[in-house]
Amino acid sequence: MVELLAARGLDSSDEWIVERTGIRNRHFVADGMQASDLAFQACRAALAAAGLKVSDIDLIVLATSTPDMVFPSTATILQHKLTQAALAEGDASGAGGAAFDVQAVCSGFIYALTVADSLIKTGTATKALVVGAEVFSRILDFNDRTTCVLFGDGAGAVVLEACEHDGSGAGILASDIHADGKHTGILCVPGTVCGGAVLGDPLLKMDGQAVFKLAVGVLEDAARAVLAKAGKTEADVDWLVPHQANIRIMQSTARKLKLPMDKVVVTVDQHGNTSAASIPLALDHAVRGGLVKPGQTVLMEGVGGGFTWGAVLVKM
């Protein structure tokens, strides 16, 4: 990371970055790779873990702020890629059902999970792929040290499905999502496309201090709200899986909730802030690593530009 910054004339060091952010490594996509390509790999891994085929899926909700195109949605592009791969492997029907994007920046996965849960509960879908996928390297200003050291590319996915109650109480216990547009300016990409040209600035802008102050407060509020909805307390939480934005935000949130850091899943050191992808990446790391186990209660929460925030409480 430091070599990349030095090549662009920015003064920094590993110590400076790690102390302020907790980030040691990030991953950037190769030229020509899109969010749907990362999402495709994440979905294949999620389906394999769930023991399902692409044809079992009847809903795709994809959270991203860095879509492949203006339209159609990256979710439909992902659906096509999954279907083509399934057909090549003999799964004759491929992926069907609804597919759409959710744009809530770093809260995107929480929003997407809440939407998919609601659609399943109404009977609109039975098995959903819920995905977070980002290529933030394409919207970074590498002359701005306050932002370019933070963000990376990545994708994560989970399968959410309807099931009969078996007495275990497993599933999504409660969710809580919010937004307040008056904070738009503290974290945004103030550009758009018009007549074939870019209007405004297409690179990420952030007021770091304002974001930190707001994030810590709303994350505590969302966590307490979702626990109250589920009739739970902080003592019932086995694991906190927060948006991997900055180690200091995660530490502050844990202190406010009186949770020790050994109950917090931290992966920001491995991939930086991957926006909507960071929570599913952290959850995947914790499940595959044997930290999060069936029967445990997991609190996931995120905050992002918009300003958006939210939390989901799950019993695994």
pLDDT in tens, 255-279: 999 999 999 999 999 999 999 999 9
pLDDT score for 167: 59
Give the bridge partners for 59, in sequence order. 98, 128
pLDDT score for 166: 64
pLDDT score for 13: 67
> What is the domain partition of the chain in residue ranges?
2-161, 171-315
Percentage of residues in the chain having pLDDT higher than 90: 87
**Contact predicate 170/316, CB 8 Å:** yes
SS (H, E, C) 176-204: EEEECHHHHHHEECCEEEECCEEEECCCC
User: Of the listed 43, 106, 148, 188, which one is catalytic?
Assistant: 106
pLDDT score for 300: 98
Q: Return the SS3 of 32.
A: coil
**Cβ partners under 8 Å of residue 1, min gap 6:** 14, 17, 23, 24, 25, 26, 149
Q: Which CATH class, in words, describes the domain spanning 171-315?
A: alpha beta
Q: Is 106 one of the annotated active-site residues of the chain? A: yes
2-161 shares its CATH topology with 171-315: yes
CA dist., res. 106 & res. 159, Å (int): 20
pLDDT score for 7: 41
CA dist., res. 139 & res. 235, Å (int): 40
CATH placement of domain 2-161: 3.40.47.10
User: Of the listed 43, 183, 188, 243, which one is catalytic?
Assistant: 243
pLDDT score for 2: 47
**Contact predicate 32/257, CB 8 Å:** no
Question: Mean pLDDT per segment of 10 residues, for the chain of length 316 residues?
Answer: 46 72 92 98 97 96 98 98 93 86 98 98 96 98 92 98 76 97 97 96 96 96 98 97 95 96 97 97 97 97 98 97
Q: Is 273 one of the annotated active-site residues of the chain? A: yes
pLDDT score for 163: 83
Q: Look up the pTM and report it.
A: 0.94
User: Of the listed 43, 148, 273, 285, which one is catalytic?
Assistant: 273
Quick one: tokens of 235?
């003592």
Work out the number of other CB atoms within 10 angstroms of the CB of residue 111.
28
pLDDT score for 19: 77
Q: Is 143 one of the annotated active-site residues of the chain? A: no
